[in-house]
């Protein structure tokens, strides 16, 4: 089944109430995968899939419009936040342990609305595109961050394997990758999701990385 054609919550036996009062049927509907992984547009990650509901999600995603990776929020209905990253599956492999491993690419940020749960526990939601940062030009600070990030990639072959293409000439790409890999609290990283947060992101990264 194509995830974008998933049955509306109005005609599905739900296991809980929807997150909002009404459903906008003009919005595409995709499966949600709540995980404590912070991924921004252009980001790549590998996931291990073993639950049946998420195996079904993968089958939908490869034949449709992908799915939404979002943070796991204990204080939200269905443990789902208000935003996530729409991702596509770029590669998958079943390894010797019998588990399915997928590689995902984050296309864009999306708003999550009208969350509901299907019979097997797979969360679904209507989504709408969210803006992130406008395209920026390099300056002295971001060039220094790019040099440091390139050094990290050189010293970590796993990053080189994930990213067949790199964009160190793009300060947006550089800052997004730093936010993803830095070992800081996800609650802090979320402060830099808004479309006006680029400058504050650069200042924070400069303080931590350049010193």
pLDDT digits (tens, 9 = 90+) for 118-166: 999 999 999 999 999 999 999 999 999 999 999 999 999 999 999 999 9
Q: Are residues 150 and 114 in the same domain?
A: no
Tokens of 151: 């050094």
Residue pair 108/12 in contact (Cβ under 8 Å)? The answer is no
Q: What does the pLDDT read at residue 25?
A: 52
Q: What does the pLDDT read at residue 153?
A: 98
- Work out the number of other CB atoms within 10 angstroms of the CB of residue 121: 11
Q: Would you put residue 79 in left (φ > 0), alpha (ψ -120 to 50) or beta?
A: left
Q: What does the pLDDT read at residue 41?
A: 98
Q: Is the pLDDT of residue 114 over 70?
A: yes
Containing H/E element for 85? strand 83-94
Domain final position from 78, 111, 130: 130
Alpha-helix runs per DSSP H in 66-197: 140-155, 157-162, 171-181, 186-189
Q: Are residues 157 and 205 in the same domain?
A: yes
Residues in the chain: 211
Q: Is residue 81 part of a domain?
A: yes
- The domain that holds 9 is classified in CATH as 2.30.130.40
Q: Are residues 116 and 25 in the same domain?
A: yes
98: confidence class by pLDDT, cuts 50, 70, 90 = confident
The better pLDDT of the pair 16, 95 is held by: 95
Q: Are residues 125 and 146 in the same domain?
A: no
The better pLDDT of the pair 26, 96 is held by: 96
Q: Are residues 32 and 116 in the same domain?
A: yes
């Amino acid at each position: 089944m194509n995830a974008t054609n998933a049955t509306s919550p109005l005609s599905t036996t739900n296991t809980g109430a929807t997150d909002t009062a009404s459903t906008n049927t003009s919005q595409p509907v995709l499966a949600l995968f709540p995980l404590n992984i912070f991924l921004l547009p252009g980001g790549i990650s590998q996931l291990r899939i073993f639950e049946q509901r998420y195996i079904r999600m993968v089958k939908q995603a490869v034949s449709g419009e992908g799915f939404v990776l979002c943070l796991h929020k204990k204080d939200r209905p269905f443990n789902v936040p208000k935003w996530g990253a729409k991702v596509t599956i770029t590669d998958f492999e079943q390894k010797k342990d019998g588990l399915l491993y997928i590689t995902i690419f984050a296309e864009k940020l999306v708003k999550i609305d009208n969350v509901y749960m299907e019979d097997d526990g797979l969360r679904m939601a209507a989504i709408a595109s969210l803006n992130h940062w406008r395209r920026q030009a390099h300056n002295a600070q971001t060039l220094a961050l790019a040099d440091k990030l390139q050094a990290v990639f050189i010293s970590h072959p796993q990053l080189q394997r994930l990213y067949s293409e790199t964009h160190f000439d793009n300060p947006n790409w550089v800052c997004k990758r730093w936010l993803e890999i830095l070992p800081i609290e996800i609650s802090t990283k979320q402060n830099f999701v808004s479309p006006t947060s680029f400058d504050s992101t650069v200042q924070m990264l400069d303080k931590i990385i350049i010193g």
